[in-house]
Structure 1
Amino acid sequence: MSTLASTTWPYPRWIAHRGAGRLAPENTLAAFRLGAQHGYRMFECDAKLSGDGVVFLMHDATLERTTSGHGIGGERPWSDLAQLDAGGWHSRQYAGEPLPTLANVAHWCIANGCHLNIEIKPTPGTELETGRAVAQLAARLWQGRDVPPLLTSFKPQALAAAREAAPDLPRGLLLDQLRAGWLDEARTLGCLAVVCNHALWSAATVAEVHGAGLRALSYTVNDEWAAERLIALRTDGIITDRVDLFPPA
């Protein structure tokens, strides 16, 4: 179990999805800066490995949707990935915005007093290597800091590797459905949180998670009615694209 006690939770309720949701190119420093301008102090991002072992931010396995590149990002060396345009797909305003490394984002977060939720997003087949690499790097980048990043993943293998590599970093299990044994799985992985599709939470599931000493977080919440329901259920964290709609205070 992480040394971050389950009785304390240093993270704010509101978390900006991929930096600033859809208002800026996802998983770029430009998005983080825009999210901060809207008052957000915690951000979610996706981390994966380049072909030569650099941890960088990108959601998809393939490059086409959010960069000027083609093919599988995890198969390319960082020297190639660093040259790509990761902003032009979004709007002309952000053309030329580069892919950031996790180290870039960590330095920005630490300098600005912001918190980070790092989703370990392996290229298929690299779950163990990615979980290990992300955790080792995060432990090094945040060494000595009061509030570590929260590591989450849909891939139990990645979380298990992260736990082995950096057991003191807090972890959360991401779920898009409540499969059999989901809470036991989270506890077995030493997680401090369960992060669900927001529609999965009910009074009963929140009570189960809180009764186990874990926190209940939700993705991706973009409607006021959904946010109000989650607040009424006493959930602990809300990941949103709508940094322009929900004030994070």
Structure 2
Amino acid sequence: MKPWPYPLWLAHRGAGKIAPENTLAAFRAGAGFGYRAFECDVKLSRDGEAFLLHDDTLERTSSGQGSPAAQDWADLARLDAGAWHSPPYAAEPLPRFAQVAAFCQANGCMLNVEIKPCPGDEVRTGAAVAREAARLWRGALPPLLSSFKPEALAAARDAEPTLPRALLLDQLWDGWWQAAEQLDVVAVITNYRLMDGALIKRLHGRGWRALVYTVNDEAVAKRLIADGIDGIITDAVDRLRPV
């Protein structure tokens, strides 16, 4: 396998339980616990701005309503993305992808970018996020692009073929191996319940790295590390400290 430049431990959505997920506050919190690699979700506004948000709608983690894909960035930028979590984070804004890139590069942090398109926006989002990542990390070690949506990863591959890609899996659906080969991935990221020593060995035999989400139990983490896992995404940044 090729050398793997990313740390073993990645903080999920920044430190998305301790602070509002997918905000700069969450990244700062994760960095405060010693994390130097993060996972986040990136999607597009109607006018093409790449920004951080997990859901297909705004209600759960912001003061907005409806689909972000139907709204321009000028309106999304005015939303409160912190008060839902706790009062100290009131008025925390949705961050642009460019802001997170600046934070990571200023602090020597690595990033796993989940391309998280709103329904029907897979191709546009995959291509745009890849182009923006290539621009923001020009001359630096790029982030790992991942997605549950093969169409989004294919668009990212076509737009910026040199960027590393990973297929995300919440189940081992028929044809996933062939899809990973066609997408020319460098890694496969699964729900941790799907991953065991045999699958890690199979992935490594193909030259792919094996990563998992979302591990919050120390015993599970130790088992996976003993099996040779390459990356662990966790919410428990205050309990599972990177070594």
Tell me whether the two structures share a fold, i.e. TM-score over 0.5.
yes
What number of residue pairs does the alignment pair up? Answer: 243
What is residue 26 of structure 1 aligned with on the other side? 21
- Higher relative contact order, chain-length normalized (CA < 8 Å, sep 6+): 1
Deviation at 1:184, TM superposition (A): 2.2
1:91-130 alpha-carbon deviations (Å, 9 max, x no partner): 0010000000000100111111111100000000000000
1:30-75 alpha-carbon deviations (Å, 9 max, x no partner): 0000100000000000000001100000000100000001111111
The secondary structure found in structure 1 opposite 2:98 is helix
1:111-170 alpha-carbon deviations (Å, 9 max, x no partner): 11111100000000000000000000000000001x210000000000000001011110
Instruction: Kindly indicate whether the alpha-carbon contact (under 8 Å) linking 2:51 and 2:97 is maintained by their aligned counterparts in 1.
Output: yes
What is residue 161 of structure 2 aligned with on the other side? 167
Does residue 137 of structure 1 match 2:155? no
Instruction: Kindly indicate whether the alpha-carbon contact (under 8 Å) linking 1:183 and 1:209 is maintained by their aligned counterparts in 2.
Output: no
Deviation at 1:236, TM superposition (A): 0.4
CA–CA separation in structure 2 for the residues paired with 1:37 and 1:236: 23
Does residue 233 of structure 1 match 2:208? no
- AA of the residue aligned to 1:174: L
What is residue 148 of structure 2 aligned with on the other side? 154
CA–CA separation in structure 2 for the residues paired with 1:203 and 1:68: 43
What is residue 121 of structure 2 aligned with on the other side? 126
What is residue 206 of structure 2 aligned with on the other side? 212
CA–CA separation in structure 1 for the residues paired with 2:239 and 2:189: 22
Which consecutive aligned stretches of 4+ in structure 1 deviate over 2 angstroms post-superposition? none
- AA of the residue aligned to 1:105: V
Deviation at 1:21, TM superposition (A): 2.9
What is residue 78 of structure 2 aligned with on the other side? 83
Aligned with residue 96 of structure 1, among 91, 96, 102: 91
Does residue 116 of structure 1 match 2:111? yes
1:176-204 alpha-carbon deviations (Å, 9 max, x no partner): 00112222211210100000000101222
TM-score when normalising by structure 1: 0.96
Deviation at 1:244, TM superposition (A): 0.3
TM-score when normalising by structure 2: 0.99
The secondary structure found in structure 2 opposite 1:194 is strand
CA–CA separation in structure 2 for the residues paired with 1:21 and 1:69: 19
What is residue 16 of structure 1 aligned with on the other side? 11
CA–CA separation in structure 2 for the residues paired with 1:181 and 1:74: 30
Instruction: Kindly indicate whether the alpha-carbon contact (under 8 Å) linking 2:15 and 2:235 is maintained by their aligned counterparts in 1.
Output: yes
The secondary structure found in structure 2 opposite 1:226 is helix
- Structure 1's unaligned 5+ residue stretches are 1-5
The secondary structure found in structure 2 opposite 1:196 is strand
CA–CA separation in structure 2 for the residues paired with 1:142 and 1:231: 29
CA–CA separation in structure 2 for the residues paired with 1:110 and 1:99: 19
Deviation at 1:233, TM superposition (A): 1.2
